A and B are shown apart, each in its own frame.
Chain A
């Protein structure tokens, strides 16, 4: 643990500044991130999930769509016997679902859609939202007014309602069918969510703008872009990281809920297809059978929880790494 006690860290940080040449914000942050063990664990876990889900055909023990007749509702190997007296089969480590497909393989394949649904829209939202929030907050005046009024409109839309409306309307179009509906889902998620980020960033900027160190930078003739990138952006990172660490699972769950309502991703029946299942989809199927086959629900749920935990660790690590006062 690099940060055992708050006061101690503070001291050592000051010593470091005296002891070595000033490095750029990013290299410095990366260096500090490397020393944060939990964040590294999180990173490794995310990488692990990415690798196994993208290399699914090599790793999954069974084809994810294959129905094994008479093998339905098998419990996981470590449970040995299910409540209803069905014996586990060592070939199916996490058991089988209600029609006899291997749960483990389906979860491995499901990681693809879920990891992407979590990561891509959040990245896009962060970029759009942060840019608009920074401009709005820093520039002020009519720019701020215009952008904030625009966010008012988007913000006032009920988000779930908007996802559903957009998905239903565009689902059968060419765009809606691309990548098994992934692009449309990304679009729907991004259109609604950038506003939250923009407002968050703007309010941070407003608070920071008045602080002494910005005035100081301005007085020594620093350019606007330099002030924004070097001084304001790092200060807005901490709430953004928390937001991102929370939004990724939210996106994964929104996908699950949409699947539950009947407008989730399109599934494919070809074993070579890329998006075959998603964790959200597996969870909504599993919920109905919680009493007799809890493993169908719990396996994808645990994966989602692990991914979320990893992102939280990474998020915490990043926040500490970018905190200018910890340098």
Chain B
């Protein structure tokens, strides 16, 4: 017995025996497996519509249909632009729609539906000019009023989307959002304010538009509550995608669950949507930019072991690569060529409730940082699918400081630092409990960390696995925030403001939950947020991060990587650190399939 093939041989033998037993009985199953032909080809289905099965298309005359088959993972809870928040949900919306701005593969904000934008002098008013002749995939015109509707819908308290706060920079948005719709007068008044501050104009810049069919309506102005020089980036994310008002009304509350109502302006059209089974996207001929070259098919298989087997069987072109399968892939000369591993804009850190002993003492936090063997973790637990980090903003996002070397792994220095703390030594420390959402993977992580701190610092950590939802609810408030947790943060949009001000300024939900407040940092961030000069602004954020690391409210731990397997015939993939569903999702229209390499 050498390898898995042999192991599986034994298992197979046992199973074959069980199948023999089955065969003894007159009729095993209405769909006996033995009748199938010993090929991987699915039988042509009886359906009149031609299902797109590239390997089932035997004809040589017609050009082979190009379908990029991707395992997306779990089926989204919702695919509504103004109500979505998950990576998988956004992975669907991004193909169907395009925002006013969009991101290029360097994550720079570039023109999307808007050909240009400009701020007034103090960055309190933002004006977009839309491209000429924009169309939805069904040929109907797309004008500035559509975007106004989306932005308004995102703010409306009746929508109650989980990212509705992100447009609070708009003057009056927070007030409307907090108004009570049952109090009609207050609600209408607050709505009217926002209505005046988000306005669609004809090209003359003064006439307010009144029709979705008006192709001359290409100016959108947004008045902001304070200088917000990054607002054009914020309005490029999914919350401002222009879903059609009439479709939302007609389709009812679950309009998003049908391809009939999902009419967008993105590079792809959602052609069919079979919930929990698959979704099919085809190129949008009316897209203003470079037309997509392939169909995309999402499947929703959650189990990573099955997904990996299906990839090996040529049933998927792109799947996520789990760390458990990495060794197998790396040792196979052919498979290792198909590995695509690149940084992901997510940072994980050991976070502490700063009101609880012993982590209210900075020396203890620093000692823990210096006792954490990040390289060993990256190797043992992440199996190479991640790298240790000593800083907060990850590589690929402006403001990242790759040269950071404070509080790096050094067990001796860690013990010395602990001696500096008010506890004096390991014996003086109170009981330390690490809390985490229980799952097989998290158990392995924390069992490793408990071992690490025992070995490198001599500290015994008690592990407290709890139900994941309970865990999330505990992390909401300082009074319930556990002593020690592992938490990550991923980019909403590629800007240091999203990493520092949104997370560590004392007014943010997160900083409040761990009771972190540094007035000096707050002042610097507030200043950076409204700074108009990009270079000066970036410098301020870099200084802020420097200040953050010196104080070390959390032990910076590791950055995750994106890891995928991609078949050799898939070409034109341009990766970004923000990819979540498949590599190249920020430029999916560039992806092609080289049919000459198809098996």
Contacts and interface: CB of A to CB of B under 8 A. Distances in A.
Interface of A: 65-67, 69-70, 72-73, 78-86, 97-101, 167-168, 171-172, 259-260, 262-264, 266-270, 281, 284-285, 287-295, 298
Contacts of B447: 65, 67, 99, 101, 267, 269
B440 A269 contact: no
Nearest to B383: A98
B330 A262 contact: no
A177 to B, nearest CB: 9
B500 to A, nearest CB: 32
Interface stretch (B180-188, B236-244, B285-293, B321-329): B321-329
B470 A292 contact: no
B465 A266 contact: yes
A267 B465 contact: yes
A66 B327 CA distance: 22
B383 A84 contact: no
Interface stretch (B59-67, B136-144, B151-159, B304-312): B304-312
A288 B1 contact: no
Nearest to B8: A294
B461 A269 contact: yes
Contact of B443 (A73, A167, A281, A293): A281
Contact of B2 (A81, A97, A292): A81
Contact of B440 (A79, A100, A168, A284): A284
A291 B7 contact: no
A83 B461 contact: no
B460 interface: yes
Nearest to B380: A99
Contacts of B439: 262
Nearest to B439: A262
Contact of A83 (B3, B438, B465): B3
Closest 3 CB pairs of A and B: A84-B331, A289-B324, A83-B3
B429 to A, nearest CB: 15
Nearest to B381: A99
B448 interface: yes
B324 A298 contact: no
Contacts of A66: 451
Nearest to A164: B467
B321 to A, nearest CB: 11
A260 B451 contact: no
B463 to A, nearest CB: 5
B572 interface: no
A171 B380 CA distance: 31
Contacts of B1: 78-79
B518 to A, nearest CB: 32
B524 interface: no
A294 B4 contact: yes
Contacts of B470: 168, 171-172
B403 interface: no
Nearest to A99: B380
